[in-house]
Amino acid sequence: MQPIDLIIQSDSQSSMPWIKVCENSPYFKTENNKSWTPVGQNDAITWPDFQSLFGRHDFSHTERHMAFLAKHGVTCIRMMMEYCQTQHRYLENPVGRFQPNMVRFWDDMFALCEKYSIRLLITPFDTFWMARRWRYHPYNKRLGGPCASKYQWLSSPDMIAASKNRFTFFIERWGGSGVLFGWDLWNEIDPKHAGKDLLLLNNYICEISIHIRQTEMRLYHKSHLQTVSVFAPTLQAHQMTDVIFKHPLLDFASIHMYQKSSIDYPSNAYAAACATAEIVKASILDIEDNRPFLDSEHGPITYFSKNKKGLAETFDDKYFLYMQWAHLSSGAAGGGMRWPYRHPHTLTHGMRRAQLNMARFTELIDWKHFKRRAINSQIKSSKTINVLGCADANQAVLWLVSPENCKGKERQDAVVIFELSVYGLSPGNYQIHFWDTQTGHLEMICKTIADENLEIDYKLSDNVAIAISRV
């Protein structure tokens, strides 16, 4: 197979504005100053929704799917440049020779994303299958590649040079597009791929980050956002807080939100939501500056691995909904990005409805000026309902959900008169939007407060989000 010609895609070919971090809040906006929230999930070249785009076997199928995503509020998809569970979707083979079918896939993918206003969070390698099938991968030195061992991926100078070349190709061909939300510099970065040396890990991030930014600035005079993802238990085991949350070259922080039992092998959705909220709050405390935080991968990984199947659909829809609202209401950007862990490997229609519901809710908050902090301790409730929330002096996002018993059934009255006190808001006039997280039903009341305490008495059912904003 002959090398393809490099046809650089200029930024004039993209009508989508690039994504930036807000100056006054830990959220995102477009470069033309409109709030933007990542609502989406992980997907892959070989999974059902996009497999027919490869080789253009059924372009119309993929286009219908993209239209479906846009209709359901999806704004972002996280994808890997290649997916190597098999030996037929390598981006390069041999190293440095970019495969025409893969390049055409990405040409089509960027074009469809542009048409339906959906952005991509791109990471260079599918490190999970790359590790398990390393003996077949073109980057393996035994096959003429740059790296002798997977334990040198992040430290080998030849491997880093090849990785830079891969990024350069992507940047020159598609990097001028606003379709690109940002770069995840490495999928689940791990010290074991750098001789267990955190300094070498940090050096990898610096080298790749600077290379990407310099290349983009040379070509487009601006640069896309950068992050690096990590498997949450690895973050905790290797004390990687500074690398993940505080690295000066990264624009936002992201982790893969897994936790034993509650998230990995869930028995009820409420426990998964509580675990999500605690991880988000702890992560935000570790960040210490104004960069956004989001979960870029989560799901029932252990359940799927052990049982070779996904959760029961009704329960999985609830688990998905609970995790996304816990994520948003605790101060993270968007609802997090699910890895499907289902057969077939796609999200359910119930999950898509949940994404649309959240996407509509996000329009009720001015994210560009939302300097949120966790306020769980500043909320008092008259009922046995857990309230998760974040707020600043002028806005708040709350999520109300009943605890569950061991069988996953909510302990609640069907409808209650709910009394809620929220402390810390500035005196003034407020709009309070009550949002049913399952149906999307909205009601709004106005309230004036003379001190820092907002008292809410309202007739509502369980599982409601509340958007509070000062007029």
pLDDT in tens, 383-422: 667 889 999 999 999 999 888 644 455 544 455 567 788 8
Cα separations (Å) of 259 from 133, 271, 298, 313?
26, 11, 9, 21
* Closest listed residue to residue 291, CA positions, set 22, 19, 76: 22
pLDDT, tens only, 231-280: 999 998 998 999 999 999 999 999 999 999 999 999 999 999 999 999 99
pLDDT digits (tens, 9 = 90+) for 218-231: 999 999 999 999 99
pLDDT value of residue 452: 84
**Do residues 359 and 75 make contact, with C-beta atoms less than 8 angstroms apart?**
yes
The CA distances from residue 449 to 397, 423, 427, 454, in Å, are 17, 11, 5, 6
Across 374-382, average pLDDT = 74
CATH number of 11-369: 3.20.20.80
The encoded tokens of residue 251 equal 């624009």
154 in Cβ contact with 200 (< 8 Å): yes
Mean pLDDT of the chain: 92
What confidence category does residue 52 fall into, taking pLDDT thresholds of 50, 70 and 90? Answer: very high
CATH number given to 373-470: 2.60.40.1180
Token pair recorded at residue 294: 């989001």
Burial 250-278, CB ≥16 within 10 A → b, else e: bbbbbbbbbbeebbbbbebbbbbbbbbbe
Domain boundaries defined on the chain: 11-369, 373-470
Task: Tell me whether the omega of the peptide bond preceding residue 344 falls within 30 degrees of 0, making it cis.
Answer: yes
Cα 462 to Cα 80, 179, 403: the distances in Å are 38, 37, 10
Q: At 369, give phi and psi (nearest 5°).
A: -125, 20
How do residues 81-138 score in pLDDT, each as one tens digit? Answer: 999 999 999 999 999 999 999 999 999 999 999 999 999 999 999 999 999 999 999 9
Say if residue 331's pLDDT is above 90: yes
Closest CA to 353 of 76, 42, 73: 73
Tell me, what DSSP letter sits at residue 32? T
Chain centroid offset of residue 464 CA: 23
Nearest of 103, 97, 72 to residue 8 by alpha carbon: 103
